[in-house]
Every structure is written in C-alpha cells, then in structure tokens.
Structure 1
Amino acid sequence: MSVPKLQIVNLRKEFSDGSVAAVDGIDLEVAAGETVALLGSSGCGKSTTLNMVVGLENPTSGDILIDGKSVIGLPPGKRNVGLVFQDYAVFTSMSVCQNLAFGLKVRGVAKAEIARAVDEVAELLGMTGKLDARARDLGGSELQRVAIGRTLVTKPDILLLDEPLSNLEAAARLAMRKELRRLQKEAGLTIIYVTHDQIEALSLADRIAVMSAGKIKQVEKASLICQEPGHLFVANFMGSPPMNLIRGWLSRDAGQISFMRDDFSVSLPAETVLPEKERNDPVVLGIRPETVRLARPGPDTFEVAVRAVEPRGAEAVLTLEHASQTLKAVVPAQERPLEGAVVNVAVDPQTFVLFSGETDLRLPLRAGDAA
C-alpha cells in the first residue's frame, strides 16, 4: 500500500489559554495527485489547518507527515509545500517573469535553470506572451495565475490554495476553475483547496472534507457527499437548498417501518433493516429537495400547499407545506405551480437518509449499508 502524500494525525491547535480549539483533533489523508477541498464557513479551522501544514503555525498536538515523514518543527522553507493566498501576494512592481523567478532566485538556483523553469510554468499557465508585463497592469485572474505559477515553479510536493478565487468576479472565477482543473490534469498536482464555496469544492475536488467548529464532520467523494451525507451537519450544510431535515421517530406496523412526526408520516423502503435500539429512539429524516417531485394524486403521493416559488433559471425552488411540516423542492421551471396552489408530490423512499437523533450520524437503512 502506497504511503499518502499528506497525513494529518489527531491535529489540534489551541489559542488563548487553551479554552479555544481552532482545530480540534482532525485526521486526514491525501494521496499523491489528489485534490481535497477543506470546505466550511468562516472560523471553522480550515485556514488554520493549512497554516500548520505549510509551517506558519505550530500545532498544539498531533502530527503532520509528508511522504511518511513528520514535518513538525521543520520551517516552511524545508517542507516543500507551496501556499497561494486569496490576496495573490504578487509583487506589483515586478514583471511577470520576475515574479515567477523570485522563489528560485532566493534559493540560489542557476540563471539557466530559472529561465527554463519560468518558461515551462508560463507555458503551462498560458502566460508566455505576458512575461514582460508588469504585474500591476494585469487583471485579477491573471494575477492569480502569476501567484500560482510563482509557487509551481519551485515544484512543491503539495500545493495549498487558500480561498484563491474569492476576489474574482463571477466570469473570471469560472474561467479560473477551468484553468485549475486543467492544471490538475496536466501537472498531476497534489492540492489542498480551502474554500467556503460549495460549487468550487464540488467542481474542483476529488474528495471534500467538511469542517465545523474545528472538526472534520465528513470526508467523502465530491460526487457522493450531497447524496450520502454521513453527519447531520453535512446534510444541513451541503446543497442549495440543503436537505430537508425532519425530526421524529420510527414506528413498526405489520412489518412496515414508517417515519412519524405529529401528523406527518412516510413509509421507509420495504427492505429497511435498523438496529433494535433505533426503532423507538428519536431520528431525523433527510429528504433531498431534488427528490421531491410533482405528481398526480395517488396512493404514494401526499397533498401540499405551495407557500413560495423561487425561480432559478431552468429550475424553481418551491416551499411546500404538508401537515404543518415545511419542505423544499426543486422542480423544472416550466412545471412550477403558482404560489397558493395545492398540489400533490411524491418522494422515492429509496432516496431517504436517516440520522440518529442522539449522535447526528447517518444510520444504515439496509443490511450491509455503511454509516
């Protein structure tokens, strides 16, 4: 089994008198050539984690290993980890060429080798025609390319990106996402990408680590995390709108397990198998808005009142009410009903997600499922 490029082991960072843990005992492994996004809201600990990996902050406890070797105590320059900040940190008085060459020049690399490395990175970034331009004359996305290029030219083992696109306008942000995907593919980079933007994380990362209050709540493939949240926080955080979450309990009648909440109830899949202790304990039912669909009246549908309609281009987000329970639904724009209408909806029980009301962890609904 190959050694991960990066291992974070029970990493903790305390501030003040130790009463505040910015990073609270997290574990993470990143394979060579993989892109992992640290996703979370401001203050969740993701940037502090990055600062400890690069060496700008010392952890209170835990370990950081690169290629199987601990880097705790090593200064940033000895770790071969590149960090790109959201504010670019480009020398605006220098040319693009001088910016790209700066790190190698500081290290005392020969001029011929610097020129070769700069040309190589400039071509990779599509900046060959801009090498003589002054950085102060560049646009935001070009400045970001220079910042990334200045790091890439030193051939880091790991590239750390801290909110790299947050200062860009929407069109430039989209263009840079495409650029980063291309760089990932062509250069085979190992990237840790810090962001609060779900779209960026979902479009750029192989896996996403969702953080909250200094802890990693779940690490999952980007293609699965919205459909298979492992923790209640993740279900409530991911998606726009996020998953419908309804607190209630389970009941069994003639072998059929149902979820109940006051006068709201739905049947779980026939093959549902739950641990004995969960059958009477509080649970939380998760229903993705995309799985709530408009339907004709029938035995597997229920009637809802449309309280709000929010058009979103090709889609519309509906706020629905059934038996004093509010649900969000995402439907095609051409099918959206009018506010105040009464319609029927259906939900596929196979898409339900169930969480423990005590631990907030996802419960397996079938034998063999992993929580």
Structure 2
Amino acid sequence: MTPKLSLRQLSKVYPGSEVAAVDRIDLDVQPGETLALLGSSGCGKSTTLNMIVGLEQPSSGDIQIDGQSIVATPAGKRNVGLVFQDYAVFTSMSVRQNLAFGLSVKGRPKAEIARAVAETAELLGMRDKLDARAQDLGGSELQRVAIGRTLVTRPSLLLLDEPLSNLETAARLAMRRELRRLQKEIGLTIVYVTHDQIEALSLADRIAVMSAGKIRQVEAATRIMDNPAHVFVASFLGDPPMTLIRGKVGGGVFRADGFALPLGDIPEGIVTLGLRPQALRLVAPGEGALTGRLSQVEPRGAEAALTLDCAGKAIRLLVPAQTRPVPGETCGLSIPEGALVAFDGDTNLRLPGAPHVAEAAR
C-alpha cells in the first residue's frame, strides 16, 4: 500500500543557524492512520508540520503525498488541512460563515457550499449553532469550528498542531472524544502534533517521538511506553518515566559512582540502565537487589510515586497508595525479570536482550 504521506531525509536549517531544526527524518503515514508527532518544545515537530503544509521550504529531502512529491507545489494547492492551537476562527462571523469561508474563497457554487457546510455542521454536532456568532462560543466549540473549516474543504491529509493546548481540562477531554469520533467516521489521515503524551497515547495509532530535530522512535501507541528504543524516549514517556543511570558494566556488575548492581545478559562497556517504575517492588530492608532510604512520597489517588535513594541514585517507583511507607524509612528494592532495559552508552539505542539482576536469577 502506498503511504498517504512520506517524508524522505527531510531537513530544515534556518539561515544563520548551525543546528538543524529538522534533521534528515524519514516517516511514512498510512491512509486512514492517526500519527502523533510527540516531543517537547523546540524539538522540530511544528517545523515538520509547516514543511508538510507548505509554510516552510525544506532545506533538503522530499515530501510525498500518495507517492507524488509536493515540495514544489504551492501551499494552497497541496490539499492539506492545518488546524492551529489558537483556533484561527473569525470571531466577527457566524459559525456558518466560518465554515463556508474556505469554499467561498475557492469560488465554489453556493449550493455546493451550503451542502458542505450542512454536512460538516452535522458531523461536528453544531447544526443548532450555525447562526451563532463565533465570539459567543466556548473554547471547545471554537476548536470544533476551526476543525470544521478545514474538514469542509475535504483535505487529503489533516494536520493538527497542538489543537487542544488552550482548552481547560474538561473541554480537552471532550475534544479528545470528538477527535476520535471524527477520525473513525471520516477515516481521514491525521498527523497530530503535541507535547502531551496522554493526548498522543489516547488519540494516535502510532507515535513518532522527536528530540533535537530527529525522530527517535516510531511505534504503536500501545507498545511504545513498554518498548523504548532510545534513551530519550525512555526519559520522556511515562509518569514517572524510567529511572536512567549511566555507568559501566564489567565482570558482570553494573557500577556508577558507588552504585553497584550484578547483572546478567548484558555486554561489558558503557551503558545506560533503565528501571521501570511500574515493575519495581518494595521489600523488607536487606531483601531484594538494593537497599535505600525513602526520600519522597507523592500520593496520586490510588497510587503513590516514591523516590528511593540507593547509593546516591534516585530511583522512582509506583506502589498502591494504601501500602505506601513514610519518608525516611529504609526499604529493600526488588527488581523482577523485565524491570530493566539497557541502552548503548555511545549511540543511546536500546541493546538487544533483557538484562536482569544476576542474583535474582540464581
């Protein structure tokens, strides 16, 4: 199947900068798929979107839609819809006028515009709001109008740039449900830019995690948190994310500034060791692989996030709230099979195999 969108070695270097904002990324998005570009501010995700829609010209590389390059195609002729975080709605117009605007600019017949506006309003659940002034709408309604203004033009590809970041929590949750419903009903191909991992995990089929202009990993939303392929992905995803400790393996022992852990199935050399918070377990002092002092307890409803100081390393873990200890207690830490991940110290890429605590395996 030909991907709906393909990026090939796509780069963007702004004049006067020695660092690429987007650095030779490759990405395929399949027809009908929702893919999230996830990363912190400045990672290159919005620049990537702007190049796809035509607001920025790539420094090198190619952008293809349905197998055809669009790099030389003007922005207005790419049939790509873009919705920004700031709604971009004409508040002096009615909902009907906002939805009709794009088709009116293209000179479409009035009957066609009226039919398309009615269909889009029905899809958005806003038929009773068509004659309302946009300035009288709430935040989630404004965002629905902004999305509708794009959908009414029947884009081949829909790009959403942090579309929910200006909404309050309740409105954000409602819009997530709306976006899932719209994607299911329309079957559009969507690229969704966000810094919010919860949004990415709840809305996307796959997630592409970006940092420093590079795509570090592309993986199914259901798998990416449990299978980080890069140190950055392990540090970025999860609440709390993995504890990452950089050290050296020699003689079957991982060491880092006084911290030591006997390991099996891991090559010697410099590695970064990742410990999954959800997999670690507190045990009695002297039991388990490590012993430490509890330095922080953060209640989170049914769970509590703990920080255990083990030989100067702060290790995070989650426990049921009713069993949480108190700060200052000395605790043992059990590290079951599957709780550890190892990354190459030079490339930051995940090493094959599943390292485990050697003592626990005997």
TM bucket normalised to smaller: over 0.9
Q: One-letter code of the match for 1:110? A: P
Change (3 A) 1:20 1:296: closer
Query: Is 1:336 equivalent to 2:335 in the alignment?
Result: no
Q: Distance in 1 between matches of 2:156 and 2:247?
A: 48
Residue in 2 aligned with 1:261? Answer: 256
Q: Distance in 2 between matches of 1:185 and 1:258?
A: 50
Q: Distance in 1 between matches of 2:242 and 2:301?
A: 20
Q: Distance in 2 between matches of 1:348 and 1:111?
A: 66
Corresponding pairs, count: 355
Q: Equivalences for 1:71-82 in 2 at 5 Å?
A: 71-82=70-81
Q: Any conservation in 2 of the 1:13–1:21 contact (CA below 8 Å)? A: yes
Change (3 A) 1:37 1:52: same
Deviation string 1:245-303 (CA, Å, 9 cap, x unpaired) is 11222244xxxx4433355444446xx3x5xxxx3211111011111122346764433
Q: One-letter code of the match for 2:347? A: T
Residue in 2 aligned with 1:350? Answer: 338
Residue in 2 aligned with 1:291? Answer: 279
Q: Any conservation in 2 of the 1:295–1:301 contact (CA below 8 Å)? A: no
Q: What fraction of aligned residue pairs are identical, expressed as a percent? A: 65
Greater than 4 Å deviation, 4+ residue runs: 296-299
TM-score under structure 2 length normalisation? 0.94
Structure 2's unaligned 5+ residue stretches are 356-362
Which shows bigger deviation, 67-76 or 312-321?
312-321
Residue in 1 aligned with 2:157? Answer: 158
Which shows bigger deviation, 259-268 or 327-336?
259-268
Q: Any conservation in 2 of the 1:268–1:349 contact (CA below 8 Å)? A: no
Three-state SS of the structure 1 residue aligned to 2:64 is: strand
Q: Equivalences for 1:1-371 in 2 at 5 Å?
A: 2-252=1-251, 257-268=252-263, 272=265, 279-296=267-284, 300-365=288-353
Residue in 1 aligned with 2:359? Answer: none
Q: Any conservation in 1 of the 2:340–2:354 contact (CA below 8 Å)? A: no
Q: Distance in 2 between matches of 1:81 and 1:365?
A: 42
Three-state SS of the structure 2 residue aligned to 1:291 is: coil
Q: Distance in 2 between matches of 1:325 and 1:10?
A: 39
Q: One-letter code of the match for 2:223? A: L
Q: One-letter code of the match for 2:321? A: A
Q: Any conservation in 1 of the 2:243–2:316 contact (CA below 8 Å)? A: yes
User: 1:366 Cα deviation (Å)?
Assistant: 5.6
Q: Distance in 2 between matches of 1:158 and 1:268?
A: 48
Q: One-letter code of the match for 1:224? A: R
Q: Distance in 2 between matches of 1:84 and 1:49?
A: 14
Q: One-letter code of the match for 2:183? A: Q
Change (3 A) 1:316 1:366: closer
Structure 1's unaligned 5+ residue stretches are none
TM-score under structure 1 length normalisation? 0.91
Q: Any conservation in 2 of the 1:4–1:29 contact (CA below 8 Å)? A: yes
Aligned alpha-carbon RMSD (Å): 1.7
